[in-house]
Copies of this chain bind each other. A is one copy, B any other.
Amino acid sequence: MKRDITVVTSVLKANDAVARDNRARLDRAGILALNITSAPGSGKTALLEATLPALAPQRAAVVVGDLQTSRDAERVAGLAAAVVQINTEGGCHLAATQVAEALDALPLEGLDFLFIENVGNMVCPAGFDLGEHRRVAMLSVPEGADKVAKYPTLFQPADLILLNKVDLAALLGYDVDLVRADLARLNTRAPLLLLSARTGEGLTAWLDWLRSERTARRG
């Protein structure tokens, strides 16, 4: 058992060192980086499809992590200043070294935001700092209202909680008060924003948060 733990610790330490380098590099370029995590199909890519055009004239790049395919990258390719798809080949989260390689491939000059769409997974991405400035944990209405309590490692360290697909809340009898109650125990620091990437409902508050976080970071 000790041996496994040693390996995991050294992997995390090495990851954190690269993450710090990524963050310093993003800071020098004046870019606010966001690490977006959720279950598969909660709507990370749909959120970016709605967000990227609305941020103009500010410019954003996207790094997309998936086990396989470049479908997510293709969806946002025409909307972002630049896109890098990372295929993890079975890996259940992005790591800082992969983001470092993506930064090498991106034209950082003139960018305002970097959105890092993590692998769809509510467990593995939690422990891996990618060098982001803000971590966004998303859940969506059709998944049920119990996800905050069931996946605390994802929601506890998040700086913002997004509840997507709220246009389906009435139809599915969604209990947003359960989400609020679980967050009251787990994470009272992060705001909870309700939105629908599909209908556009609630997007303004998300865009305002993005812009104010970037302004706060740059001073």
**Cross-chain contact A40 with B122 (CB below 8 angstroms):** yes
Which among A20-28, A51-59, A98-106, A138-146 touches the partner chain?
A138-146
Q: How far is the CA of A98 from the CA of B196 in the complex (A)?
A: 39
**Cross-chain contact B40 with A147 (CB below 8 angstroms):** yes
**Cross-chain contact A122 with B121 (CB below 8 angstroms):** yes
Chain B contacts for A119, CB-based, 8 A: 123
Which among A65-73, A107-115, A200-208, A209-217 touches the partner chain?
A65-73
Which among A76-84, A129-137, A150-158, A187-195 touches the partner chain?
A150-158
Q: How far is the CA of A40 from the CA of B140 in the complex (A)?
A: 10
Chain B contacts for A42, CB-based, 8 A: 143
Question: Which residues of chain A (141-192) have a CB below 8 Å from chain B?
Answer: 141-144, 146-147, 149-153, 165, 168, 171
**Cross-chain contact B121 with A90 (CB below 8 angstroms):** no
Chain B contacts for A146, CB-based, 8 A: 69, 71
Q: Pick from B121, B147, B171: contact of A41, CB below 8 A.
A: B147
Q: What is the CB-to-nearest-CB distance from A181 to chain B, in angstroms, rounded to a whole number? A: 13
| A93, closest chain B residue (CB) | B123
Q: Is the CB of A50 closer than 8 A to any CB of chain B?
A: no
Chain B contacts for A3, CB-based, 8 A: 7
Question: Which residues of chain A (1-55) have a CB below 8 Å from chain B?
Answer: 3-4, 7, 11, 39-42
Chain B contacts for A121, CB-based, 8 A: 92, 121-124
**Cross-chain contact A92 with B41 (CB below 8 angstroms):** no
Chain B contacts for A149, CB-based, 8 A: 68-69, 71
Chain B contacts for A4, CB-based, 8 A: 7, 11
| 6 additional A-B residue pairs with CB within 8 Å, beyond A39-B41, A39-B143, A121-B121 | A41-B142, A41-B143, A41-B147, A69-B146, A92-B124, A140-B142
* 20 A-B pairs (CB sep. < 8 Å): A39-B39, A40-B147, A41-B140, A41-B144, A41-B147, A42-B143, A66-B150, A67-B150, A67-B152, A68-B149, A68-B150, A69-B146, A69-B150, A71-B149, A92-B121, A120-B122, A120-B151, A121-B122, A142-B168, A171-B171
